[in-house]
Structure 1
Amino acid sequence: MPVPVDGWNREERDETQTQRLDRNWACLLQELRVVLTGVQLLTGFLLTLPFQQRFATLDENLHLLYLATVGCSIAATVLLTAPVALHRLLFRRHMLNQLVTVSHRLTMIGLFLLGAAVSGVATMIFEVIAGRQAGMAAGLFTATAWVALWVALPLIARRGTEADVLR
């Protein structure tokens, strides 16, 4: 019979629910530090593209792909930085459980949009350089890779385990 989550945390980590929330918040912030630099650089790069001379020569499909990609990248940036603003507004209000829960959800959606933006960038770059088929292949490969590594692999790894959450 599995040990209840709170029991496992007390026995294995010797931590209270509050300490666990503090640990979860610290882990989430570290993960955000890793991803934020990349998403901010990607967004900055995308925001400069329309001001390049060659951008005007792209066809309507690439302009639409660009808009979808930059939209995903901007939304990812907003969602992945939102936990910091949320923390500031909830600071010292004893709402750590809500902070961790909402920030986790914002991060998951932000990562999904980041993956979509990276796939869009791969599609655009390969299409401009090597043609539409190469662009589609690169976008499909990139999307498949991030879904496999960011979604499927973690879901497979967590099979048979129990979530470490407050009930």
Structure 2
Amino acid sequence: MTVTGEGVARRRGRNETEEERADRMWVELIQEVRVAQTGVQILFGFLLTVVFQAKYESLTHTDKAIYIVTVVLGASATGALIGPVSLHRLVAGRRVKPQAVRWASRLTFVGLVLLLATMTASLLLILRVATNGGFVPWLVAIVVAWYLLCWFVLPLWTRRRYTSR
């Protein structure tokens, strides 16, 4: 609660039951997951086609290893980001939505970390194949720093800065 200038106590936040909060958080989480799912599924689909391209045979051993790691990361990210849907479906009607929301949120976070790793490995592979520049690791590092800033640093800073104790 906060006290206004007139000394009147006002409740901060929403006045909702645990179940109402879980319902709201579930809807918000699913909207977030839809965005990430679409991106990871498109990326993963493209990754699956690479091995069938003629140029694949001419890749170096290192590039093929990066490709395999990238595909495994993409498959893992896809699984983690689709996991909340399966979780919801399998526990629907069991009166465990607050717990399901917590687990779905954790799966989504893991999926985002795996998506970051997939995007990093994909970028590394593409830039290695497209150029012969020694600048590739630096360019990838800059892009990864940008992802970290957008996906984790800014949200965590915002949470810390604007969350009341």
State if a TM-score over 0.5 links the two structures: yes
Deviation at 1:15, TM superposition (A): 2.1
Deviation at 1:18, TM superposition (A): 1.2
Deviation at 1:139, TM superposition (A): 2.0
Name whichever structure is richer in helix by fraction: 1
**2:54 matched to which residue of 1?**
53
Q: TM-score, normalised by structure 2?
A: 0.88
Q: Count the aligned residue pairs.
A: 157
Residue 72 of structure 1 contacts residue 117 of structure 1 at CA under 8 Å; is this kept in 2? yes
Alpha-carbon distance change, 25 to 111 in structure 1, aligned in 2, over 3 angstroms: same
RMSD after superposition: 1.8
Q: TM-score, normalised by structure 1?
A: 0.87
Structure of greater Rg: 2
Alpha-carbon distance change, 108 to 49 in structure 1, aligned in 2, over 3 angstroms: same
Deviation at 1:62, TM superposition (A): 0.8
- Tell whether 2:12 aligns with 1:8: yes
Equivalent position amino acid for 2:123 in 1: A
- Structure 1 gaps of 5+ residues are none
Matches within 5 A, 1:137-156: 137-156=138-157
Alpha-carbon distance change, 21 to 81 in structure 1, aligned in 2, over 3 angstroms: same
Residue 123 of structure 1 contacts residue 137 of structure 1 at CA under 8 Å; is this kept in 2? no
Deviation at 1:142, TM superposition (A): 2.0
- Tell whether 2:100 aligns with 1:99: yes
**1:70 matched to which residue of 2?**
71
Residue 122 of structure 1 contacts residue 135 of structure 1 at CA under 8 Å; is this kept in 2? no
* Overall identity of the aligned pairs, in %: 38
Q: Which moved more, 1:22-31 or 1:118-127?
A: 118-127
- Tell whether 2:134 aligns with 1:130: no
**1:118 matched to which residue of 2?**
119
Structure 1 stretches of at least 4 aligned residues deviating more than 4 Å after TM superposition: none
Residue 80 of structure 1 contacts residue 110 of structure 1 at CA under 8 Å; is this kept in 2? yes
